[in-house]
Structure formats: C-alpha cells, structure tokens
C-alpha cells in the first residue's frame, strides 16, 4: 500500500469499469484496471463491477484470473462487488446456470435478476449503515439486480429496500473485508460507497 492512497483495482472484463475507476480516484485511491494475474498481484483491494455474472465467471477463467482471485480473497484481500459483483462474491446463488462458478467470499444466498428484467430497473433512496449515517439517504440505481435471500451469522446487513413490492429485501452487506451492493453507486456521482471501501482497504 502506498501511503494513504491504497492501490485498488477494478476487474475490467465487463461493466462500468471507467465509472468505478473515476469514483475510486475521487475517493482517494490509486485506481487501475485488472485483466491479468500480474495486475491483480499489484493491488491492495479489488472492485468487481456489474455485468452478466455467468459470462464474467467464464471470462475469469479465460483470463486465468479465477483461481488467483479466489486465493487472494481467501487470504483476506478487501473486495467490493456491485450487482453481478455481489453474485460472484456469494457462496450460494439461486436461478443461475449449472456451469456458473462463484468466489465464495460472502456467506450469503443471492437470487439473480431478483427485481426483474431490464425494463423493470428502478431507483430508490436508501439508508446504508456506516455510509449514510452522517448524511442524506443515497439514491440507489437497480438494473437487473440481485437481492440477498439469506445471510450467515458473520454477515452484517447494511441496507434493505424501504418500500414497494420488494420491501425489506437485503441489498447491501458486509462480511469482514468484503462489501457488496445490489445497486450501482458508480452511476450516480455519489462516492460514499467507494469512499467507504477505500477506507476499508486503507485500514
């Protein structure tokens, strides 16, 4: 780690890579794209962005990143996953393909595309533990998003949907050095989730 500016990578196989890099840089990190094991070796933490989770799991294998990433996570490397990133970090996934692989970094059960198809994407205001405690609610954007159906004893629930048909569904969690959200904070300009993750890596 370089001083107070931790080196944080963004898995650059799919998703809003540029937006995550910009948010991390704005939150005080040295941000870089990660596509190869040698690039993974150089970072202190990793963001896994949204995308299509089964495709991303295949690409991790093609780029020879799956096992190195799983090993780094098992060793305690901090990670943050948004949307598909949450799915990949989970231990159990519902409604997925039988050939999909996951990283087993969070003791959670996740349901893919739980909120519906692309046309059913939506926004809402969320209160997120430790992140919005001293400020206003966060505008959360959900795009073909998962939700968490079950959490293990060591998992802290950070946010739930406040109302509507999906009221009380879990959409943000943390377990040790691993953070995950169902929503996409990188698209709103609100950097508080990224700032929280940068602080996690810094500590």
pLDDT digits (tens, 9 = 90+) for 91-131: 999 988 877 889 999 999 999 988 866 546 789 999 999 99
Q: Count the alpha carbons within 13 Å of 82 in the hemisphere toward its beta carbon.
A: 24
Query: What are the tens digits of pLDDT across the range 21-73?
Result: 999 999 999 999 999 999 999 999 999 999 889 899 999 999 999 999 999 99
Q: Is 83 one of the catalytic residues?
A: yes
Instruction: Name, in order, each residue with C-beta under 8 angstroms of 181's C-beta and a sequence gap of 6 or more.
Output: 80, 81, 82, 83, 86, 128, 140, 159, 171, 172, 193
- pLDDT value of position 95: 84
- pLDDT value of position 119: 47
**CA dihedral (168, 169, 175, 179) positive or negative:** negative
- pLDDT value of position 97: 80
* Known binding positions for L-glutamine: 51-53, 112, 143-144
Burial class of residue 85 in the structure, from the number of CB atoms within 10 Å of its CB (0-12 exposed, 13-18 middle, 19+ buried): buried
Domain ranges of the chain: 7-202
83, 102, 194, 196: the active-site residue: 83
* Known binding positions: 51-53, 112, 143-144
- pLDDT value of position 1: 52
20, 184, 194, 196: the active-site residue: 184
Answer whether 13's CB lies under 8 Å from 56's CB. yes
Tokens in use for 37? 């094991």
Q: Is 71 one of the catalytic residues?
A: no
Query: What are the tens digits of pLDDT across the range 120-176?
Result: 678 999 999 999 999 999 999 998 899 999 999 999 999 999 988 788 999 999 999
- pLDDT value of position 190: 95
CA–CA distance, 139 with 175 (Å, rounded to integer)? 23
CATH 3.40.470.10 fits 7-202, yes or no: no
19, 20, 102, 186: the active-site residue: 186
CA 126 vs CA 27, 41, 155: distances in Å: 20, 34, 19
CA–CA distance, 32 with 59 (Å, rounded to integer)? 18
């Amino acid at each position: 780690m370089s001083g107070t500016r931790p080196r944080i990578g963004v898995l650059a196989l799919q998703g809003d890579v540029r937006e995550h890099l910009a948010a991390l840089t704005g939150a005080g990190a040295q941000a870089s794209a990660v596509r190869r094991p040698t690039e993974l070796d150089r970072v202190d933490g990793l963001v896994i962005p949204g995308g299509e989770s089964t495709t991303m799991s295949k690409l991790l294998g093609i780029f020879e990143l799956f096992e190195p990433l799983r090993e780094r996570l098992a060793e305690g490397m901090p990670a943050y996953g948004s949307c598909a990133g949450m799915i990949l970090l989970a231990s159990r996934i519902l409604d997925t393909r039988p050939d999909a692989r996951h990283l087993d970094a969070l003791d959670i059960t996740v349901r893919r595309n739980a909120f519906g198809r692309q046309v059913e994407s939506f926004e809402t205001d969320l209160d997120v533990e430790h992140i919005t405690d001293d400020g206003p609610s966060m505008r959360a954007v959900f795009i073909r998003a998962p939700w968490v159906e079950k959490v293990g004893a060591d998992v802290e629930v950070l946010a739930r949907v406040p109302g509507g048909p999906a009221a009380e569904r879990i959409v943000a969690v943390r377990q040790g050095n691993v953070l995950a959200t169902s929503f996409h904070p990188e698209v709103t300009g609100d950097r508080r989730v990224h700032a929280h993750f940068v602080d996690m890596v810094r500590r």
